[in-house]
Structures are given as structure tokens and as C-alpha cells.
Amino acid sequence: MSDITLRLKPNEERRLRAGHLWVYSNEIDTARTPLKALPAGALCRVEDSRGKPLGTGYVNPHALLCARLLTGQAEASIDAGWFARRLRTAAALRERVYGQPYYRLAYGEADGLPGLVVDRYGEVLVVQIGTAGMEQLKGPLLEALQSEFAPQGIVLRNDSSAREAESLPLYVEEVGAVPETVLIEEGGVRFEVAMRGGQKTGWFYDQHANRDRLVRYARDARVLDVFSYVGGWALRAHGFGAKEVTCVDSSAAALDAAEHNAALNGASLETIKGQALDVLRQLGAEGRRFDLVVVDPPALIKRRKDHAEGLSLYGRLNRAALALLSPGGVLVSCSCSHHLEAEELQRVLLRESRAASRRLQILEEGGHGPDHPVHPAIPETRYLKGFFCAVQME
């Protein structure tokens, strides 16, 4: 319970009553709520303009998105027991879906835990805290994680630049015994994942379901995995019977890890270090052709103001990828940019295929899997797009 109250302006509660969890600073009645005087991260009671309670959340007066609801209960105690109940519910969902403990355990607002991501790597948990409110609750959060899952170790990978929007410091912290790497399994393929130096939390669980889809397209294929990181797409394709796999990444460490993962699975792969667009164009100049090309870049549109530049880069990448496909080949084109709608990516693919005199057929459309559930009132929880396309000659 909190003695701080946020009072909204008239009619600003409609989005919250519809299930959304966010409050913006321009929705606050600052005459009745001295927003700027409130401590960042403090728990608060949220009320509508008439004083009717909407729930309990936390506040950050220094951010445009100044409050997030944790629960619709205005008198809730946000303690280790509260976190344990939320985490228990999240874990039960994942355990129904996945046979092994390798998944995103908690996905922020979609699991009623705004500002929090937890990935599970067997006996190790990787935690990312993105808001001042969740940072203030780190103590009861860690207590709940330890009581519910008894992990060997917990890594707090709080080094994401997203924390800067909440004026939070960047740091990495460990609790318990954390190994350098952990071994996970996806679709019968083994991967060694770095717990400290890897991208994001070390592995991209959000593409699990899409990598499963390769079973339809990979057999006997020559596969090119662009932005390969540690070889997730390439080695899953190999597991489904691909005859050749090639990884492209700008990081030598990532490609070394991809080769190590290939050896773990008795596979061999080609690695090419370089900037993706440069490598794609060079492969085209060399006359190389592939039956399956995966283009899975990091977010190229991180902010709305980056939209035009990012959209242009998506176009150039997919244009270069199309040029490398053999007739009847398959292009897997992905985007994790929230600010790029699926329809926009589809238009990019249409435009570039027409410019290349190719006929494009969309076979499947994928998103993130069930360990990244979508909150129906919060479209921001849906971000991943993936098109599986057959590419024919005109």
C-alpha cells in the first residue's frame, strides 16, 4: 500500500478501464497531484478525476510515461508474495507449452509485471529491469524468484540503453553462482549461450516458433542466415536437413560462437564476417545462390523519427537478399521494430520483389511465441513480424 495518490484529469481513465497499464504525464491533474515532487519509482494509488480508485502502480515524474499499473487493486501490497503469485502464474503458462525450462518466463506488461523481463535458462535466470518503479522493487522481486525457482544463479542484465529514458544507471549484477555459459536445447538442437556478454539476455527466445517453421523449407536447402548472431536460424535449418548453411554477422565473437554451436551438433557451417548489406552485395557479385535466405536484423527503427531511414534500410536488405535466391527459393524476412507495422514490411517486400522482376508469394506470417504473450489492450506488446515468402521468376 502507498500513501501517494495520482489523480487523473477528467475522462483520462478510459484507457486504464479498458485494460491498459500506462499513464502519461499529460493525463495527470497536476493541480491536485504535485507530480514533479514525487520520488521516482515510488508506489502510488491511481484514481480517476472523481477519486475512484483504479489500482496500484509506480510513478516516475521524470518520464513522459509517468506511471504504470501493477494491479487493479488499490489497496494491494506489492511485496515478495505478490511477485511470487505473478511469477507462478507466468511459469504455469510456459510449463504447459514448453517441455524444457528454456523460455521467456516474464514478459513485462503482458504478464502483469510492467518494466520486467525474465528469461529462464534452466537453473539460471536472466533479469532485465527497465523502469525506476521496478528498480525500487528489486528486493522483493529477487526474493520471489529465489523462493519460486531456487535458481543456481541470477544475472541482472540492467545494461540496456532503454533504461536511460527512466534516468537509470546501467549495470550488471549477479546473485548466486552464474556460469560463463549455459547449454540450452531448441527443437533438438543444442546451443551454448553466454550469460554475460551476449546480446540482450543471451538468446532470442521470441523467434523460437518461427525457427520451428523452417521444417517445411530447409530440407536439402542451401541456407543463408543474415544477422546470424550465434547461428540460431542456420543450425535449426541444419537440424531440419539443410545441406549447406552460411552465417553472416558483423561480430567475430558471435560467429565463433556459431561455429562452436555447430560443433556441438555435429554440423559444419560457413561464416562470413561483415556488414550485412555489404556481404549480401558481395555474394551477389560472386554469383552465389541460396534456396533459403533469412534476414533477421536488430530493430532498425528504434524511435519514430528513425522511421524513414529504417524503412529504407529494410528495403535495401531485402532487395539484396532477393537477388541471392534461386528460382522457387524462400525468403524469411523479419522485423522486431515496434514502429514498423506488418503491413509496411509487406509493402516493402512487394516493392522490392517487383523492382527485381520477381513474383512473391507469402506462405506464412509469424510473430513471437506464447512465452511472449500479447496484452490485448497494449499493442506495444506485439512487435515481431516475420514473412515466409516463396520467390519465383517472372
Which residues form the catalytic set? Answer: 336
What's the grid cell of residue 378? 497494449
Residues 6 or more apart in contact with residue 114 via CB below 8 angstroms: 21, 22, 57, 68, 69, 70, 108, 131, 133, 134
Residues 6 or more apart in contact with residue 184 via CB below 8 angstroms: 100, 102, 121, 122, 190, 191, 193, 203
CA distance 317 to 328: 19
**Phi, then psi, of 291 in degrees rounded to 5:** -90, -20
Contact yes or no for 239/187 (Cβ under 8 A):
yes
Element spanning 125, H or E? strand 124-129
DSSP letter for each residue of 199-251: STTSS-GGGHHHHHGGGGT-TT-EEEEET-TTTHHHHHHHHTT-SEEEEEES-
What's the grid cell of residue 189? 538442437
CA distance 83 to 349: 43
Lookup result for grid cell 513471437: 368
Q: What is the largest CA-CA distance in the chain?
A: 70
- State the helix-helix crossing angle for 307-322 and 342-355, rounded to 10 degrees: 50
CA distance 391 to 386: 15
> 112: alpha, beta or left, given left = phi > 0 and alpha = psi -120 to 50?
left
